[in-house]
Amino acid sequence: MRLQPRPKFRAGASVRFHSFFGAARALRAIAQAGLYPSNCRILDAQEAFNTGAADGSVAIMVLGFESGDHSPDAWMMRALECCADHGGTPEAAKAGDAHLEGAAGICRSAFIRMPYAREFLTPAGLINDTFETAITWDRFESFHDKVKAATERSILEATGLKGEVTCRFTHVYPDGPAPYFSFHALGRHGALLEQWQAIKNAASDALIEAGGTITHHHAVGRDHRPWYDRQRPELFAAALRVAKRELDPQGMLNPGVLIDP
């Protein structure tokens, strides 16, 4: 267990970009500059519109630093310089509770409320789901376009109607981002599960074929197992089987999630 002092100093900002890829390049610069923000996310223009954080014409970055030891203002200033290098314009940047205000506050509120939306989306026949992955920076832009296009095609094939596919970053690293896609489609009662599965399958196929991981922070789970088998090296599976046999000889812990019982 690691303990550290509760943060005493905070600085937050929301930054607007006319290009989602411009926002991604700024985020890459921040991640590779060793600034270590406590919060650093971007939403594409449609995702920002859906959350109410913008009007649909700009991508939004939510940026935050905090410390229990010193003011993070210098780190925030450098991060905003990275944003400016890639066309970013700060909407707000100040100490204190900036993460609760403006676009940053709206994004935060929408994120907390989002899981409850299914209570009225599903009865209305709307198919709504998310899937996340990870990719290296050098391949991100072409990867994004391929996965988004494949998912949009699958929505049209499954429902006969155009749907919506959006993207945001939830985690970033010096090596690359964790793109998090959302999709919305108008389905048909009595066929919602089959339509969702067809879209999910196509999106998962596209992730693997474009070189990404089948999942990131949501772990694998049984939904993702077929694609995990395609992604995972056999030698790693063999090592898992040996560890499982020694540590869980009765096969009681999550049987069938990563390897067959």
> Hey, how many other C-beta atoms are within 10 angstroms of the C-beta on 34?
9
Q: How confident is the model at residue 52 (pLDDT cuts 50, 70, 90)?
A: confident
Mind listing the pLDDT tens digit for each residue in 162-183?
999 999 998 999 999 999 999 9
Question: CA distances (Å), 115 to each of 5, 47, 72, 201, in order?
Answer: 31, 15, 32, 22
CA distance 5 to 52: 34
Taking 90 as the threshold, does the pLDDT of residue 119 lie above it? no
Residue written as token pair 């077929």: 226
Residues in CB range of 219: below 8 A, 6 or more apart: none
Q: How confident is the model at residue 109 (pLDDT cuts 50, 70, 90)?
A: confident
Indicate whether this model's pTM tops 0.85.
yes
Q: Is there a contact between 183 and 199 (Cβ–Cβ < 8 Å)?
A: yes
Q: Are 38 and 65 in contact (CB under 8 A)?
A: yes
Count CA atoms within 13 Å of residue 135 on its CB side: 25
Comparing CA positions, the residue from 62, 12, 53, 46 lying closest to residue 170 is: 62
Pick the CATH number of 122-218 from 3.30.300.330, 1.10.510.10, 3.90.1410.10, 3.10.20.30: 3.30.300.330
Residue with tokens 């196929």: 205
Residue 86: DSSP 8-state: T
DSSP string of 86-105, one letter each residue: TT-EEEEEEESSGGGSHHHH
Architecture of the structural domain at 9-115: 2-Layer Sandwich (3.30)
Query: At residue 96, does pLDDT exceed 60?
Result: no
For the chain, the first-to-last Cα distance in angstroms comes to 32
pLDDT digits (tens, 9 = 90+) for 3-49: 988 999 999 999 999 999 999 999 999 999 999 999 999 999 999 99
Given the structure tokens 């594409």, which residue do they identify?
44
Distance CA 76, CA 116 (A): 33
CA dist 229 and 77 (Å) reads 44
Residue 100 pLDDT grade (very low, low, confident, very high; cuts 50, 70, 90): low
Domain ranges for the chain, please list them. Answer: 9-115, 122-218
- The answer to whether 42 touches 60, Cβ cutoff 8 Å, is yes
